[in-house]
Amino acid sequence: MKILKKILLSLLIAASMGAVSTSVLAETDKGRITYAPADAIDLVTGKIKAALDAIANGTEGDALADLIKEASDASKEINANDKVDIARSKANNVLKSARKLAQEAKVKEAEEALKDAAKKFEALKSLI
């Protein structure tokens, strides 16, 4: 009887561990688009290039800051590993400073910060 209790308890524990595994149940929310890390990096660099093109066309102020904010928001989609996340955070800080410069109407400095951010985001691909 003792052996039977041990066997049943072991089976119960094994079944409960398999049934409640969170990694098995993990999935994305409905309506949310998930990107591969390289695709997310391309998305962010595309938005940075759009902001750089807007500077070339004479956009400045809050309109430029909104474009930079879109790139900053898109950078949250880059999910690979801890090294990539740390480098993404540093590159995102450059985007934040570019946004602040754009709001202060310092377009030339914002352009340089955007170019630096683009280089940093492109460098993330080597960390994947």
Which distant-in-sequence residues (6+ apart) come within 8 Å of 120 by Cβ? 87, 90, 91, 94
Which tokens hold the place of 23? 């990694």
In a structure prediction context, what are the per-residue pLDDT tens digits for the chain, which is 128 residues long? 889 888 988 888 888 776 665 555 556 666 667 778 888 999 999 999 999 999 999 888 889 999 999 999 999 888 888 898 999 999 999 999 999 999 998 989 999 999 999 999 999 888 88
The answer to whether 118 and 49 have CB atoms below 8 angstroms apart is yes
Domain boundaries, the chain: 38-123
Cα–Cα distances in angstroms (integers) from residue 50 to residues 1, 12, 19, 47, 114, in the given order = 73, 57, 47, 5, 10
Q: For the beta carbon of residue 3, count every other beta carbon within 10 angstroms.
A: 7
For the entire predicted model, the pTM comes to 0.73
